[in-house]
Amino acid sequence: MKINAAIIGTGIGIKHLEAIEGYKKSKVLMICEKDKKKILELKKRYPKIKITNDENKIFLDKKINLVSIASFDNFHFSQIVKSFKSNKNVIVEKPMCLRENQLRKIVSLIKKKKKIKITSNLVLRVNSLFKIIKKKIFTKNIYYVEADYIWGRPEKLLQWRSKIKDYSITLGAGIHMIDLVMWMLKSKPLYVQAFGNNLATKKTAFSKKSFALYVFQFPNNVLVKVTSNAASTYEHFHELKIFEKNRTLIHSYSGSYLFKKKNKESFFNKINNNYPDKENRKKLIQNFIDSLLNNKTKEIVSFKEQVDLMTVCFASDKSLRLGKKIKISYL
């Protein structure tokens, strides 16, 4: 049996398509794209795949059992709902939605549609470097973590992101680092205090905050600082520092290292890796396909983890709006 998929949106959606088409257990039957120029290009590039500008054709096609949503952020929620109502599984680019009430609706629908699954494309979990670091850390010894999402693509803020009323750099950028930390620590934050500004994008079409800093308090008073640095002049990068008693793991632009102290002497070892390891990203989608075909296959990102992550992001944005510390209430 093969999973028959459809793709909505062909920006990052092309990467979804390559992961699905490049897997022996799945194939793409249909692509939805609104841009007329892109449609012509897609028809030439993928002559065996049906190209449409009407997403409803996907939801009406009974042969399709997986929808990969890579549209603009403000369309994700409605397309998830339509997918569920037509009994189709979902892969969605982050974020799943832009509002808390939408998240509650998704949770409610999943409870009703028990055979339907959804995953979010949280690709840092399949990055070989971060998998190595996760194995190396001693979570009980960690007292502080820094995780910086350095986007390095300020021009993208001035495109469709500047036109979305509810656009959030927390949900559009920092979400990756928040997920990475929660996944590595195997824990959820209790409180968040957020700060932000738009100094780097002042007097541009992007009027929302383009930089945000979040301080999370985890159980046992472990502190975590995460940033969403959307307007940076820098290479796209995921910087990480994990501080333990007598050890520190650092992933920075200069390399990845483990520092440790023994008998009052300090040592450091380079962690060999192939970051950014983009080739491995398809494994998250392919793992989800495996889980659809075999219920015994464990998903890399569980539904509960997705909901908890979105809850943390919404609390972070609430702290940004109100300018105060927020207790995180999980669904």
Helix 303-322 / helix 175-185 crossing angle, nearest 10 deg:
120
Q: What is the mean pLDDT of residues 84-90?
A: 97
Is residue 185 scored above 80 in pLDDT?
Answer: yes
pLDDT average, residue stretch 222-248 = 96
Query: Could you tell me the domains of the chain?
Result: 3-116 (3.40.50.720), 124-275+310-327 (3.30.360.10)
pLDDT the model gives residue 264: 63
SS (H, E, C) 267-321: EEEECCCCCCCHHHHHHHHHHHHHHHHCCCCCCCCCHHHHHHHHHHHHHHHHHHH
Could you give the CA distance from residue 98 to residue 86 in angstroms, rounded to a whole number? 22
pLDDT recorded at residue 11: 95
Q: pLDDT tens, 107-149?
A: 999 999 989 999 999 999 999 999 999 999 999 999 999 999 9
Percent of the chain with pLDDT over 90: 94
What pLDDT, on the 0 to 100 scale, is given for residue 268? 81
pLDDT in the model for residue 114: 85
- The closest of 122, 120, 126 to 92, measured between CA atoms, is 120
* pLDDT > 70? residue 237: yes
For residue 270, the tally of other CB atoms under 10 A from its CB is 9
Specify the pLDDT at position 76.
Answer: 98
pLDDT at 262: 74
Q: Tell me the per-residue pLDDT of 44-85, one tens digit each, with 9 for 90 and over.
A: 999 999 999 999 999 999 999 999 999 999 999 999 999 999
Q: How far apart are CA 33 and CA 51, in angstroms?
A: 7
Rounded to an integer, the average pLDDT of 84-112 is 97
Residue 132's pLDDT is: 95
Q: Token pair of 40, please?
A: 């012509």
How far is Cα 164 from Cα 171, in angstroms, rounded to an integer? 13
pLDDT beyond 90 at 267 = no
d(CA 293, CA 2): 8
pLDDT of residue 178 exceeding 70: yes
Identify the pLDDT of residue 14: 97
Predicted TM-score (pTM) of the model is 0.96
